[in-house]
């Protein structure tokens, strides 16, 4: 008898032992059904060993599930990711199995010619026969293709001229052709590609940073690196990671044009049946290019030869709920497990990546200029102390003048404010109370389109009351500060003839709506677009020549580790939207602190100066990339139990050289959904095994049932 270790995609500490039924001959990676308590659950075999001499009774594996097994590299990656995140391996396994559990696509009904001639021929019947000879279609589609009523087709079926059959949906993806439409690269692109081709040809792990300003042609270069990887073997696979679903359509279209075949998309917007098809085709090596969000890293690639992480600096690569991970870092680890190269692409690389490039760990490939002769926009600061907007307004006179000029020339303007809704704070004039969520310590944000007050932390919402909930005063509530809806209102009053639109997650419900709005902007159907960061990323608007940043200081106020870096990256990217084609563009940044180093670096377009300054500050504090950081959040609804645990947990912190533990302190949001939250921050020198420290710390105390402990390695949001 053999014992199978089965890892179950649930938050459990380890794989469980089961007995292998005779004649099942399991292999590592097999997906099986196994009993867990009263239920049958899905799991993956992670090990097999001889069961001779084992006396304890073991439950039997119930059966093997008909799906491709998880390849060894995927299993190793799941285990690596769990250790990295100091979490249970069942958590990343759940992500890895997500595509295998969806229902299969149903077979499709088609009408086929039988060869029998119709007893009586009519022009309508002739058209049906011609259409049926050209393609296998469902009866209704065949009638449409022939331009006849459904009755004509059913009569032909009744006559035996056509027969119905069932076709499985094609399981494989059309193979990409690396020679389909090779572009002409400029010298700078060609030089970068030569380096990448060398890296791909080595069949070894290596990381390259593809560093170039917005519009320098990074996508073309990494698609050529993908072509080089595809040429290595007929079953070689390439993964391209993107930070936002909204960007996938544009990249998919470019890949289809370059390789003559559509790649597979992988993100939360893909229908379950389609996901299953992608998952299985990836496992069988029949899907060669995947364009996806961070979870695509967990797909069961049979022969992954290249990973591209586009916009590698983007904070969206950090998964903050459930299994917490940074997809860019995991992409590097995944590539290492498969001896494959990684390309990190960005116009404003993260400090971590720049540090790796500066110290020679990563190859640093810089693309020189804007592609196709387009000019970089000029960036200027509007000092709000010298040129303030009218009271209760948010657009300064210089920005209004620039908008007028752009609109007069028939060009477009983008007003950027990274804040959803109408007003971030609602205040009572009578009693001074700010309206906050009932179960969280966050302010309620007024949304005028929906007429509701919304908590952006938890999604709680309520209709805007006509009386103050605290003092009962009537019509005493005032909206304080701007959100995109309020900026739109102001722009509409200033430019009543202009066509306006708002791009935020409240106005754009999903990928389809985003695509429509982006297309309308690209085609010049919108004059002024008011947008949060979704519109700042990656899109090309040929007639957009003015970008106005309403509140350039907004991102700096949080004061967390990456506030300056994030603000610089985001605003550089937003400003880069202006004048990407033949028309010169300009960006105006409204700021109360024009002397701030971030604003100065943006105005001078001097990324290197900003990076040098920020690096020096991080180095002095021993913070990433010069040290390691983790947050431990402990939360619970029972205050006494929480406080007791926090005390015990603080006392249990292991003593370790090169590690500082800060806290416990109230987390910045100290109450969320009725749960109080306390936070520890752990800073460690680079040489310290931070994960081992955290795992040892957690193992020293028993977490009571009412308390939740979450470890966030390399925290981004600091909430």
Instruction: Name the site residues for Zn ion (rule: CB under 5 A).
Output: 428, 430-431, 433, 468, 470-471, 473
Q: DSSP class of residue 444?
A: P
Nearest distance, CB of residue 426 and Zn ion, angstroms: 11
Which has the closest alpha carbon to 371: 187, 192, 538?
187
Which has the closest alpha carbon to 487: 476, 503, 509, 475?
503
Nearest distance, CB of residue 425 and Zn ion, angstroms: 14
Shorter beta-carbon distance to Zn ion: residue 148 or 468: 468
Question: Where does 38-146 have alpha helices with state H?
Answer: 72-85, 90-96, 123-134, 139-146
Nearest distance, CB of residue 436 and Zn ion, angstroms: 13
Shorter beta-carbon distance to Zn ion: residue 181 or 478: 478
Residue 157 gets the label, from left (phi > 0), alpha (psi -120 to 50) or beta, of: alpha
Nearest distance, CB of residue 466 and Zn ion, angstroms: 12
Nearest distance, CB of residue 424 and Zn ion, angstroms: 18
CA distances from residue 369 to 216, 265, 310, 375, 471 in whole angstroms, order as listed = 6, 31, 18, 9, 60
Nearest distance, CB of residue 391 and Zn ion, angstroms: 23
Shorter beta-carbon distance to Zn ion: residue 72 or 472: 472
C-beta of residue 521 within 8 angstroms of C-beta of residue 513: no
Shorter beta-carbon distance to Zn ion: residue 417 or 477: 477
CA R_g for the chain: 29
Give yes or no for a cis peptide into 341 (omega within 30° of 0): no
Nearest distance, CB of residue 467 and Zn ion, angstroms: 8
Residues 6+ away with beta carbon under 8 Å from 3: 17, 18, 19, 20, 48, 49, 50, 51, 54, 58
Q: Which helix (H) or strand (E) holds 203?
A: none
Q: At what angle do helices 218-232 and 187-201 cross, to 10 degrees?
A: 30
Shorter beta-carbon distance to Zn ion: residue 393 or 470: 470
Q: DSSP class of residue 436?
A: B
**Torsion angle of alpha carbons 558, 559, 562, 565, nearest 10°?**
90
Shorter beta-carbon distance to Zn ion: residue 107 or 472: 472
Shorter beta-carbon distance to Zn ion: residue 415 or 428: 428
Sheet with 445-447: strands ordered across:
445-447, 452-454, 461-463
Shorter beta-carbon distance to Zn ion: residue 191 or 430: 430
Nearest distance, CB of residue 452 and Zn ion, angstroms: 19
Q: At what angle do helices 150-158 and 123-134 cross, to 10 degrees?
A: 80
Q: Are strands 445-447 and 452-454 parallel, antiparallel or unpaired?
A: antiparallel
Shorter beta-carbon distance to Zn ion: residue 115 or 463: 463
The angle subtended at Cα 558 by Cα 552 and Cα 562, nearest 5°, is 85
Nearest distance, CB of residue 392 and Zn ion, angstroms: 21
Nearest distance, CB of residue 435 and Zn ion, angstroms: 9
Shorter beta-carbon distance to Zn ion: residue 435 or 502: 435
């Amino acid at each position: 008898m053999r014992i199978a270790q089965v890892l179950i995609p649930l938050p459990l500490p380890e794989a469980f032992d089961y007995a292998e039924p005779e004649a099942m001959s399991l292999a590592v990676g097999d997906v099986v059904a196994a009993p867990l308590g009263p239920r049958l659950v899905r799991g993956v075999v992670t090990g097999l060993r001889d069961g001779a001499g084992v006396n304890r009774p073991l439950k039997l594996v119930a059966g093997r599930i008909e799906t491709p097994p998880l390849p060894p590299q995927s299993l190793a990656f799941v285990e690596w990711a769990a250790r990295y995140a100091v979490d249970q391996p069942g958590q990343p396994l759940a992500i890895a199995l997500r595509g295998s559990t969806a229902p299969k696509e149903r077979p499709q009904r088609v009408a086929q010619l039988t060869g029998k001639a119709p007893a009586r021929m009519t022009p309508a019947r002739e058209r049906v026969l011609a259409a049926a000879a050209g393609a296998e279609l469902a009866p209704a589609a065949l009638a449409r293709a022939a331009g006849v009523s459904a009755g004509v087709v059913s009569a032909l079926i009744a006559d035996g001229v056509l027969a119905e059959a069932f076709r499985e949906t094609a399981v494989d993806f059309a193979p990409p052709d690396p020679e389909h439409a090779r572009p002409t690269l400029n010298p700078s692109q060609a030089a970068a590609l030569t380096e990448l081709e060398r890296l791909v040809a080595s069949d070894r792990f290596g990381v390259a940073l593809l560093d170039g300003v917005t519009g320098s042609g990074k996508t073309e270069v990494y698609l050529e690196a993908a072509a080089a990887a595809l040429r290595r073997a007929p079953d070689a696979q390439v993964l391209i990671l993107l930070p936002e679903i909204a960007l996938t359509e544009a990249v998919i279209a470019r890949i289809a044009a370059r390789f003559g075949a559509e790649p597979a998309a992988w993100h939360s917007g893909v229908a379950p049946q389609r996901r299953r098809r992608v998952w299985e085709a990836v496992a069988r090596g029949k899907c060669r290019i995947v364009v996806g969000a961070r979870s695509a890293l967990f797909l069961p690639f049979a022969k992954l030869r290249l990973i591209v992480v586009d916009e590698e600096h983007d904070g969206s690569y950090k998964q903050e709920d459930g299994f917490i991970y940074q997809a860019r870092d995991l992409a590097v680890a995944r590539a290492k497990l498969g001896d494959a190269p990684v390309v990190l692409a960005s116009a404003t690389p993260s400090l971590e990546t720049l540090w790796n490039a500066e110290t020679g760990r990563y190859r640093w490939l810089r693309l020189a200029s804007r592609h196709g002769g387009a000019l970089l926009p000029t960036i200027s600061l509007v000092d709000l102390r010298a040129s303030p907007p009218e009271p209760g307004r948010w657009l300064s006179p210089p920005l209004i003048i620039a908008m007028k000029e752009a609109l007069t020339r028939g060009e477009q303007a983008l007003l950027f404010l990274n804040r959803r809704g109408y007003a971030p704070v609602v205040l009572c004039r009578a009693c001074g109370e700010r309206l906050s969520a009932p179960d969280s310590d966050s302010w309620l944000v007024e949304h005028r389109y929906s007429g509701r007050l919304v908590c952006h932390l938890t999604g709680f919402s309520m209709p805007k009351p006509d009386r103050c909930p605290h003092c009962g005063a009537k019509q005493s509530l005032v909206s304080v500060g701007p959100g995109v809806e309020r900026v739109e209102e102001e722009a509409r009053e200033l430019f009543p003839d202009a066509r306006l639109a708002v791009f935020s997650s409240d106005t754009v419900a999903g990928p389809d709506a985003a695509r429509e709005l982006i297309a309308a902007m690209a085609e010049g159907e919108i004059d002024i677009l008011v947008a949060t960061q979704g519109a700042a990323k990656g899109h090309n608007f040929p007639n957009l020549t003015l970008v106005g940043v309403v509140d350039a200081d907004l991102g700096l106020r949080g004061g967390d580790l990456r506030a300056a870096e994030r603000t610089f990256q985001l605003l550089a990217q937003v400003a880069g939207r202006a004048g990407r084609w033949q028309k010169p563009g300009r960006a105006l940044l409204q700021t109360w602190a024009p002397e701030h180093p971030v604003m100065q670096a943006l105005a001078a377009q001097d990324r290197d100066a900003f990076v040098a300054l920020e690096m020096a500050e991080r180095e002095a504090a021993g913070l990433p990339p010069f040290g390691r950081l983790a947050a431990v959040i402990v939360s619970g609804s029972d205050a006494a139990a929480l406080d007791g645990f926090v005390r015990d947990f603080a006392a249990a912190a292991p003593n370790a050289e090169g590690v500082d533990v800060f806290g416990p302190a109230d987390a910045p949001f100290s109450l969320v959904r009725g749960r109080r939250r306390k936070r520890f921050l752990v800073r460690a020198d680079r040489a310290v095994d931070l994960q081992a420290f955290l795992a040892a710390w957690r193992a020293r105390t028993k977490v009571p049932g009412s308390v939740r402990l979450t470890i966030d390695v390399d925290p981004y949001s600091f909430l």
